[in-house]
Amino acid sequence: MSDTIELKYEVSTEDFTRAGEASSDVKKKLRQMGVPPEAIRKVAIAMYEGEINMVIHANGGTITVLIDSECIDMTLQDRGPGIPDIEKAMQAGYSTAPDNVRNLGFGAGMGLPNMKKYSDEMKVETELGVGTRVNMKVFIPE
């Protein structure tokens, strides 16, 4: 029997209203696994922001979540244009979201900053024209 569990999600851009389904499912499963509430909160927010980013900017992709009793490890691989200037993208309030998305209340430029804030470790690898891969870790306190 495995001590690690892997959850995989396909994030599609077909239906905007479905964005957030993956993070919602992860939340439910973390609760069932008895993960402490504070860690669930961090995962929920970080992953939700990442998922929305994949839908708004990046033609969707896949999310892989690895969970063991010490860490929740999320990898978000998208099919987007890549990020030309990561430093700029990490600034609070900086956004390249189009107006129609902003009108829905998204695109406030808090996506990446919030992901960084709510994860304990974050790594962004991006290649222009190919996509971006974000790895986030939330550690579970003893």
Partner 1 sequence: MDKFENSVHLDPDKCKGCINCIKRCPTGAIRVRNGKAVITKQFCIDCGECIRICPHHAKQATYDPLSAIKEYEYTVALPAPSLYGQFNNLEDSNIVLTALKRMGFDDVFEVGAAAEIVSKVSRSYAEAHEEQWPLISTACPSVVKLIRVRFPNLIDHLLPIQAPVELAAAMARDKALKETGLPSEKIGIFFISPCPAKVSACKHPIGIETCEVDGVLAIREVYPKLLPFMKEVAAAPEELATSGKIGVGWGSSGGEAGGLLTDSYLAADGIENVLRVLEDLEDQKFENLEFIELNACNGGCVGGVLAVENPYVAKVKLKKLRKYLPVAGMHVNASEEELRKVEWTQEVEYEPVFKLGNNMKESIQMMSQVEALTKKFPGIDCGSCGAPSCQALAEDIVRGIAKESDCIHILREYIHKLSGEISMLDRE
Closer residue to partner 1, CB minimum distance, 67 or 131: 67
Distances (CA, A) of 11 to 24, 94, 139: 13, 24, 24
7 binds partner 1 (CB under 8 A): yes
Cβ contact 134:63 at 8 Å: no
**Cα(131)–Cα(79) distance, integer angstroms:** 5
Q: Which stretch binds partner 1 (CB under 8 A): 42-50, 87-95, 121-129, 131-139?
A: 42-50
Q: Which residues neighbour 126 within 8 Å (Cβ) at sequence distance 6 or greater? A: 82, 83, 86, 132, 133
140 binds partner 1 (CB under 8 A): yes
- Least distance (Å) from partner 1 to the CB of residue 7? 8
Give the position of tokens 């979201």. Answer: 97
3 binds partner 1 (CB under 8 A): yes
- Could you say which of 16, 18, 24, 128 contacts partner 1 (CB under 8 A)? 24
- Could you say which of 1, 14, 87, 100 contacts partner 1 (CB under 8 A)? 1
112 binds partner 1 (CB under 8 A): no
- Could you say which of 11, 22, 44, 74 contacts partner 1 (CB under 8 A)? 44
Q: Which residues bind partner 1 (CB under 8 A)?
A: 1-5, 7, 20, 23-24, 27-29, 31-35, 37-38, 40-41, 44-45, 48, 67-69, 114, 140
